[in-house]
Amino acid sequence: MSAHGQSTSSSQKNHSTPASRRALSSFLLLLAAATGLEAGGHNATADAGIPIKITNSCPATIWPALATQEGRGPTTHGFELAPKSSRELSVSQDWQGRVWARTNCSFNADGTAASDGGRQACDTGDCDGVLDCLVTGNPPATLFEIALQSGANKTNSFYDISLVDGYNLPLSLTHLPDPRLPIPPNLTNPSCIATPPFSSALSENANATYPTPRTQTQDLTRWCPFPLLLQPPAKPGGGAFPLPDDHIPRPPFSPCLSPCAATGSDSDCCTGSHSTASTCSPGLYSHNAKRVCPDAYSFAYDDGKSTFSIPSGGGWEVTFCPEGPSSDILGTFGEELGVVAGGVVTEEVWRVAREGKKGGVEGIAAAGGKGGREGSLGALVVVVCVWVLFW
Ligand SMILES: *[C@@H]1O[C@H](CO)[C@@H](O)[C@H](O)[C@H]1NC(C)=O
Ligand SMILES: *[C@@H]1O[C@H](CO)[C@@H](O)[C@H](O)[C@H]1NC(C)=O
Ligand SMILES: *[C@@H]1O[C@H](CO)[C@@H](O)[C@H](O)[C@H]1NC(C)=O
Ligand SMILES: *[C@@H]1O[C@H](CO)[C@@H](O)[C@H](O)[C@H]1NC(C)=O
Ligand SMILES: *[C@@H]1O[C@H](CO)[C@@H](O)[C@H](O)[C@H]1NC(C)=O
């Protein structure tokens, strides 16, 4: 482990390096930066007890990373993880932070960047070229963000999957329920899978009794606007037989930059004169991201349709490269989540989670992410506003 004394406020550092490709972090961390929270940093001594399990279902090695915003972080903020393996960490009950994965890394034995003088060790998600991260990662990276004890009375966990810093790998979340307050798993476990399948295995966070609402099967090879591809594919025949860019075949692993990371403009980053919800609007990237991952943040002010809030408790598993279509939970169960956020999981919530809104999976599939979204928004917006006020 390296340089544990020097934990910095990662998002502040992040925002003060305009020349780098680091983008605006998503709303959760912006809030924290605005309120001047210091990163909790690396504290290797204590086991605080909330499990964070990280699983690699990708066919390749990945290098998961964490950033601690508040509370006591895990004993490591970055490590190598072989395919089909997991690592269990634990954080304090008031932890706030994010988890992402780095790809295509090359480190020296001491955990620094392998290339001489190089500050970058990984193609995506790199954190200044060190294995054990002290800062947040470079875009593009799919993020899991969580504040374990938040809201007015610090009673709720607020969490999201964010594509605000771009997309590198599919990610799913599995809440490991607190036995004192079980919650139907198809309300708590979102997934964002915007990559064509790497294999044909079944979804890791699937539960046959409480199936997660899913998006319709769709083409996942073209949602990233061509100019945002981190590694744009070569034009076939050296460009001699021109295809529209969007029709050039892309590999399954095809990281997508956020517009902010690509252009750095205020309108793409929701900064400057575009720094409020009414002056920052979603562009093509956000629209496409929302289509492939309806439960994920697609731009900084996407809160009502992207933030989950459940009573604090239990632990979390973060799986990279889960299979199956993305979830569409907030659009389906927003109303029920509003009830759960209030601290009670009623019989009615269990019934709806079991039987679906219209008494079956077909009803849900037919609703296709429309039904419930509007109704649900109110509850979530209230929750988010309360949260914003008290951060
Ligand atoms: C690290 O954890 C120990 C034990 O809980 C605590 O006393 C100490 O203040 C912590 N240090 C930091 C920097 O959080
Ligand atoms: C980069 O990482 C991805 C995801 O782990 C993997 O699919 C891809 O094959 C890697 N590419 C190279 C050139 O190693
Ligand atoms: C916070 O706790 C107080 C006192 O128990 C209660 O009146 C209030 O409704 C709670 N607020 C929320 C948002 O739960
Ligand atoms: C499905 O979820 C229910 C409710 O949380 C739980 O009791 C059950 O063990 C889960 N089934 C599997 C296979 O995980
Ligand atoms: C949640 O699980 C129940 C129980 O199987 C299922 O009937 C319901 O359709 C699921 N919800 C959705 C939206 O898929």
pLDDT of 74 reads: 95
60 lines ligand 2 (CB under 6 A): yes
pLDDT of 41 reads: 43
Q: How far is the CA of 71 from the centre of ligand 1 (A)?
A: 10
CA distance 316 to 147: 12
DSSP 272: G
Which tokens sit at 131? 């294995």
Ligand 1 atom with minimal separation from the 40 CA: 14
Ligand 2 atom with minimal separation from the 198 CA: 7
Ligand 3, residues at Cβ distance < 6 Å: 152-153, 386
CA distance 136 to 126: 8
- 144 touches 159 (CB < 8 A): yes
pLDDT of 13 reads: 31
pLDDT of 391 reads: 33
Q: For the chain, how far is it from start to end, CA to CA, in angstroms?
A: 31
Q: Among residues 89, 307, 286, 71, which one has the least CA distance to residue 194?
A: 286
Beta strand 96-102 pairing with 191-192:
unpaired
Q: Looking at ligand 2, which residue's alpha carbon is closest to its atom 5?
A: 60
CA distance 169 to 255: 7
Residue of 183, 203, 204, 207 to test ligand 4 pocket, by largest number of atoms within 8 Å of CB: 207
Q: Looking at ligand 4, which residue's alpha carbon is closest to its atom 14?
A: 207
Confidence class for position 192, pLDDT limits 50, 70, 90: very high
Q: Give domain limits for the chain.
A: 4-390
Residue with tokens 């899913």: 214
Mean pLDDT across 361-384:
37
Kindly report, residue by residue over 234-260, the tens digit of the pLDDT: 877 776 767 778 788 888 899 999 999
Q: How far is the CA of 58 from the centre of ligand 2 (A)?
A: 10
Ligand 4 atom with minimal separation from the 177 CA: 5
Omega of the bond leading into 197 within 30 degrees of 0 (cis): no
pLDDT of 310 reads: 96
| Residue-averaged pLDDT of the chain | 79
Ligand 4, residues at Cβ distance < 6 Å: 177, 182, 185, 207, 209-210
Domain 4-390 homologous superfamily, CATH: Thaumatin (2.60.110.10)
Q: Looking at ligand 1, which residue's alpha carbon is closest to its atom 12?
A: 43
DSSP string, 283-336: -HHHHHHHHH-TTEE-STT-GGGT-EEEES-SEEEEEES--SPPB--HHHHHHH
